[in-house]
Amino acid sequence: MDVVLVRWPDERDRREELRRSGRPRLLLLEDGSPAPTTVDALEDWIRLPADESDVRARVQALELRAIGTGHVPDVPSLDDDGVLRCNGSWVALPPVECRLTAALLDRWGAVVSRDALSRAGWPDGAPGRNALDVHVLRLRRRLEPLDLVIRTVRSRGYVLEAASDSGQARVSQA
């Protein structure tokens, strides 16, 4: 897995996005910037200007940590054109499903309420309760080839996550 270089503190939001997606990252500290609190084993920092060999050594160490901690699986990514990529495959999403997916990815592995999804899918106001159900159903079908599932959490909302082993077995037998 590639280590992402992030300028600190200028790219603070990008750091958080990479952290949520489980990507290893090396923070490049601007001269005079205070050192950040490292949030997990997939993050390190180095103060600029830095020798290229020092940067390379830290990148290699982060790559080894990513492999050793099991953070190698592909984490879904959604680009500005509505293409969702995961596990070496991709799917193009229509606008509403793209907005729903973006909201689910922002809270990867956590519950997103129906209200939050409705606001994300239809910023000008949802057309009705049934519309969300229909689009989630369509999105579930689109995500199957990527080994991703949207699980319903009763009375709470939805969770986007990797398909379970049992779900993958079921798909491969079909």
Lowest mean pLDDT: which of 26-35, 63-72, 129-138? 63-72
Residue 167 has pLDDT above 60, yes or no: no
Q: Tell me the two tokens of residue 36.
A: 């950040």
pLDDT, position 172? 35
Which range among 10-24, 40-54, 121-135, 158-172 shows the weakest confidence by mean pLDDT? 158-172
What residue spans define the domains of the chain? 4-68, 77-173
> Residue 70 and residue 63: Cα distance in Å, rounded?
11
pLDDT above 90 for 147 = no
Q: Average pLDDT for residues 127-152, to the nearest whole number?
A: 91
- pTM for the whole thing? 0.55
4 φψ region: left (φ > 0), alpha (ψ -120 to 50), beta (else)? beta
Q: What is the mean pLDDT of the chain?
A: 84
pLDDT digits 0-9 by tens, 48-82: 999 999 999 999 888 888 776 554 445 789 999 99
Class (C level, CATH) for 77-173: mainly alpha
Nearest CA to 4 among 39, 42, 38? 42
